[in-house]
Amino acid sequence: MRKLASYLLIVAGVILFAGAIVDGDDMEYRGLTPEEEYVIVHGGTENPYKGKYVETFDDGVYTCRRCGTLLFRSEAKFPAHCGWPAFDLAIEGAVETRPDQDGDRTEILCASCGAHLGHVFTGEGYTETDTRHCVNSISMDFIPADRIGTVYFAGGCFWGVENAFDHTPGVLEARSGYMGGTTDNPSYTEVCSGATGHAEAVKVLYDTSAVTFRDLAIMFFEIHDPTQMNRQGIDTGTQYRSAVFYTTRGQFDVLEELVLILKNQGYEVVTQLIPAGDFWPAEDYHQNYLDNNGVEISCHARVCRFPEN
Residue 297 resides in a domain: no
Same domain, 64 and 196: no
- Determine the pLDDT at residue 28: 47
CA-wise closest residue to 276 among 249, 240, 304, 303: 249
Question: Does residue 156 sit in the same domain as residue 288?
Answer: yes
- Domain closes at, from 135, 166, 193: 135
- Domain assignment present for 48: yes
| Whether residue 128 is found in the same domain as residue 191 | no
Q: What is the pLDDT of residue 136?
A: 98
> Does residue 302 sit within a domain?
no
Residue-averaged pLDDT of the chain = 90
Average of per-residue pLDDT across 243-269:
98
Is residue 209 located within the same domain as residue 265?
yes
With respect to residue 241, please indicate whether it lies within any of the assigned structural domains. Answer: yes
The two beta strands, 86-87 and 131-135, are antiparallel
Domain boundary residue, one of 110, 135, 160 = 135
**Which of 68, 100, 135 is the last residue before a domain boundary?**
135
Looking at the structure, do residues 97 and 170 belong to the same domain, yes or no?
Answer: no
Same domain, yes or no: 186 and 110:
no
**Domain shared by 188 and 209, yes or no:** yes
Contact 181, 188 (CB under 8 A): no
Residues 281 and 262 in one domain: yes
Q: Is the confidence at residue 262, as pLDDT, over 90?
A: yes
Q: Determine the structural domain holding residue 175 and report its residue range.
A: 2-23+145-292
The predicted structure's pLDDT at residue 30: 58
CATH of the domain at 273: 3.30.1060.10
Q: Which has the higher per-residue pLDDT, 102 or 270?
A: 270
192 counts as catalytic: no
Asked if residue 173 belongs to a domain, the reply is yes
Q: How far apart are CA 245 and CA 110, in angstroms?
A: 31
Q: What single-letter amino acid sits at 97?
A: T
Would residue 304 count as lying in a domain? no
Active site (annotated) includes residue 157: yes
Q: How far apart are CA 72 and CA 182, in angstroms?
A: 32
Identify whether residues 153 and 247 lie together within a single domain.
yes
State how far the Cα of 150 lies from the Cα of 105, in Å rounded to an integer.
37
How many domains would you assign to the chain? 2
Distance (Å, whole) CA 260 – CA 12: 32
Residue 309: band (very low, low, confident or very high) from pLDDT cuts 50, 70, 90: confident
Active-site residue identified among 157, 192, 299, 304: 157
- Write out pLDDT tens, residues 213-240: 999 999 999 999 999 999 998 899 999 9
Q: What is d(CA 200, CA 240) in angstroms, rounded to the nearest whole number?
A: 6
Residues 19 and 36 in one domain: no
> Does residue 181 fall inside a structural domain?
yes
Spatial strand order of the sheet with 116-122 comes to: 86-87, 131-135, 116-122, 106-110, 95-99
Whether 103 is covered by a domain: the verdict is yes
Are 177 and 158 in contact by the 8 Å Cβ rule? The answer is: yes
**Which residues are registered as beta bridge partners of 143?**
61
Give the closest residue to 166 by CA, choosing from 46, 280, 287, 253. Answer: 287
Q: How much is the pLDDT for 296?
A: 79
Containing H/E element for 61? strand 60-64
- What pTM was computed for the model? 0.86
Q: pLDDT category, 247, cuts 50, 70, 90?
A: very high
Residues 200 and 280 in one domain: yes
Region for 148 from its dihedrals, namely left if φ exceeds 0, alpha if ψ lies in -120 to 50, beta otherwise: beta
Strand order in the sheet with 70-73: 70-73, 60-64, 140-144
Question: Which CATH number covers residue 64?
Answer: 2.170.150.20
d(CA 44, CA 31): 18
